[in-house]
Amino acid sequence: MMDYKNPALTLPENHNKQGVISWKSPSNIALVKYWGKYGIQLPRNPSISLTLDQAYTETKMKYTSQKTKDKEIDIEFFFEGKPNEAFAAKIRKFMLSISDIFPFILQLKFIIHSENSFPHSSGIASSASSMSALSLCICSVENELFGTLSDQKSLMEKASYVSRLGSGSACRSLFPHASIWGETAVMNKASNLFGIPYGDEIDPIFHSFHDDILIVNQGEKPVSSRAGHALMEGNDYAEPRYQQANDRLARLIDAMKKGDLETFGIITENEALTLHALMMTSHPAYILMQPNSLEMINRIKTFREETNLPIYFTLDAGPNIHLLYPHHIYDKVNPFIQSELIPLCEDEMIIRDQVGQGPSKL
């Protein structure tokens, strides 16, 4: 199995390297969900996501040779301008875990500044954008020091591989418009190790799709995604679920190639509810949806029935509703969002997002 371990990426002793790298990287929203993993962050089933635009992380990584300790990751980490030791500890652990891929990170000191475009307390998962931004910075440092990742494709593929090790779904944030992660019978090049770009294969209607994130609750989730994945191991529905995800992925990509919004909507909504059904059938069972999540789902369905407009919902592993619709119906759905959905949001909070181009180097 490819693993990118490379002892050759070591700097000479007494090197005097320094530099600064910055990347902006977005979050993504899964349509067919990754839920259940094995080994080192390998997915039990393939998933597909839309790449977002407005929900992103900007990470600036400064590296110097002024290292204080040997054989340890030497970082200072600032989140939104302030030193953050809790995040620093997590990043140190992550960077140590990938030091056989990037041996030079044991030879440098890093000062990392990271900021999210969305409020930290919004209940929006930041791991996809933050892990992909961090991984891109590390890959770019490799390229500055060794010239080994000068073409965009190799850079993105390696950054996707490394992002996956940090947070599975992060590996899908690296590509314009859409990405697939996980082996599937319908696509030879799809891999469990990294995400692949899929934006060029789908109908352009999806390139400007909206994803309005309706914040039902801003608090931290009572059960983390990590714990949720682990609970799939004892779930009676796990095996049929993995088969179902494969079947749905095949049908969804077919619908997305054709621009068939109705089939897209049926599969996307079924996936969201299946994800939450899996939580409700875990041992112990748990529920992350809240009364207003259900109220919003019902209002979206009623509005769709009354207007025949292609407006659909999905959910992450949390109570917030992602509202998906094509750009050309924006003017028609906006009054409904304003009058029927925003009043159900906590503090009327909504993040108006859209499908985007993927990461950019700053």
**Smallest gap from residue 192 Cβ to ligand PMV (A):** 13
Length of the chain: 362
Q: What is the DSSP letter of 355?
A: B
| Contact between residue 361 and residue 22 where contact means Cβ atoms under 8 Å apart | yes
Q: Which of residues 196-225 bind ligand PMV (CB under 6 A)?
A: 225
Size of the site for ligand PMV (CB under 6 A): 15
**Part in contact with ligand PMV (CB under 6 A); list of ranges 7-15, 29-37, 112-120, 153-161:** 29-37
When asked if residue 30 is in the footprint of ligand PMV (CB under 6 A), the reply is yes
Q: Which of residues 314-333 bind ligand PMV (CB under 6 A)?
A: 316-317
CA distance 96 to 6: 14
Closer by beta carbon to ligand PMV, 252 or else 275: 275
Q: Which of residues 154-173 bind ligand PMV (CB under 6 A)?
A: 167-169
When asked if residue 47 is in the footprint of ligand PMV (CB under 6 A), the reply is yes
Closer by beta carbon to ligand PMV, 22 or else 290: 290
Residue type, 184: T
Could you give the string, one character per residue 333-362, with x where binding to ligand PMV holds by CB under 6 A and - elsewhere?
Answer: ------------------------------
Closer by beta carbon to ligand PMV, 23 or else 35: 35
Q: Which of residues 240-279 bind ligand PMV (CB under 6 A)?
A: 275
When asked if residue 36 is in the footprint of ligand PMV (CB under 6 A), the reply is no
Q: Which of residues 96-155 bind ligand PMV (CB under 6 A)?
A: 125, 127
Dihedral of CA atoms 341, 58, 132, 209 in degrees, nearest 10, equals: 40
| Contact between residue 166 and residue 59 where contact means Cβ atoms under 8 Å apart | no
Closer by beta carbon to ligand PMV, 47 or else 160: 47
What is the per-residue DSSP string for 133-183?
HHHHHHHHHHHHHH----SHHHHHHHHHHHHHHH-GGGGGTTSSSEEEES-
CA distance 217 to 287: 13
Bridge partners, residue 110, by sequence: 63, 75
Closer by beta carbon to ligand PMV, 135 or else 167: 167
Nearest to 312 by CA among 320, 301, 302: 301
Distance of CA 131 to the CA centre of its chain: 9
* Positions that interact with ligand PMV (CB under 6 A): 30, 33-35, 47, 125, 127, 167-169, 225, 229, 275, 316-317
